[in-house]
């Protein structure tokens, strides 16, 4: 049989695909699944830089989950004057960028950090996750204790209060535990002055938590009146550490 005829017969009777080299089809850009695709996260940057300029508005009583509380407060600051509102805003924006890169849709309860703005009130912050059917909500704060040597973070979750938080207190506790673990894993110290030193606090008096229908926590990332905590909170590297830890916490909880 001639070489030409043998080659022709081989082509005619070959099993399609047998011993053929594998073919690879490139995925279109952006099609790779990301860990938080389809997830919705609400970030609540505590306070507002201009709250102190609007005392009547922020002291107005609003619903807080079976009782009323002032709309908002001014927040604390470091001894050097770095405001809690600005710290919360900067960490929240870093966290937003990280979560969006992972595929999440992120909503913030406030979109500015300005002296000519106030609020929103705690009832609006509390319900923010409900309106967008979020998977979770994290409220970002810094504490302001004057207790000597008081430093470190703690995570606040709602207690079981029917009808307000009965549907979310268990999942919120799990979110709190995941958040504590993520902060610890980034080398951040647990608060030594509150909640028995274990980093978890459970409260029934916070409208930001009580009015949520989605798992929620409030994080006091450090004590702004403590020199060591303030050093971290005022540094860009420190704020990135907080944002990384909170991003880790979201992934722990959702994955």
Which residues are identified as catalytic?
220
Say how far residue 209 (Cα) sits from the centre of its chain: 14
Ordered strands of the 136-143 beta sheet: 105-108, 40-45, 136-143, 216-223, 154-158, 200-203
Residue 138 · residue 216 · CB < 8 Å: yes
Taking the C-alpha atoms of residue 46 and residue 231, their distance in angstroms, rounded to an integer, is: 20
Would you tell me how many other CB atoms lie within 10 Å of the CB of residue 122?
A: 27
Across the chain, the runs of DSSP E, i.e. the strands, are 40-45, 61-63, 68-70, 105-108, 136-143, 154-158, 200-203, 216-223
Q: Is the Cα dihedral 136, 140, 145, 149 positive or negative?
A: positive
Taking the C-alpha atoms of residue 70 and residue 104, their distance in angstroms, rounded to an integer, is: 32
CA neighbor of 98 nearest in space, from 87, 106, 89: 106
């Amino acid at each position: 049989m001639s070489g030409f005829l043998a080659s022709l017969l081989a082509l005619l009777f070959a099993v399609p695909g047998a011993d053929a080299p594998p073919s690879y089809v490139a995925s279109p850009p952006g099609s790779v699944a990301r860990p938080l695709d389809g997830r919705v996260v609400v970030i609540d940057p505590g306070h507002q830089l201009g709250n102190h300029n609007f005392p009547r508005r922020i002291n107005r009583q609003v619903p807080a989950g079976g009782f009323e509380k002032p709309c908002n407060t001014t927040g604390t600051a470091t001894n050097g004057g770095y405001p809690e509102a600005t710290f919360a805003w900067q960490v929240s924006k870093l966290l937003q960028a990280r979560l969006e890169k992972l595929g999440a849709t992120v909503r913030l309860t406030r979109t500015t950090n300005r002296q000519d703005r106030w609020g929103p009130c705690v009832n609006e912050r509390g319900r923010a996750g409900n309106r967008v059917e979020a998977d979770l909500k994290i409220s970002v704060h810094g504490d302001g204790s004057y207790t000597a040597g008081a430093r470190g973070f703690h995570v606040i979750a709602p207690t079981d209060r029917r009808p307000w938080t009965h549907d979310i207190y268990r999942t919120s506790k799990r979110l709190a535990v995941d958040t504590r673990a993520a902060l610890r894993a980034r080398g951040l110290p647990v608060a030594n002055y509150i909640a028995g030193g274990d980093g978890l606090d459970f409260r029934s008096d916070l409208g930001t938590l009580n009015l949520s229908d989605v798992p929620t926590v409030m994080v006091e990332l450090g004590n702004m009146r403590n020199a060591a905590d303030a050093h971290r909170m005022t540094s860009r590297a420190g704020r990135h550490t907080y944002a990384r830890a909170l991003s880790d916490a979201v992934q722990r909880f959702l994955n």
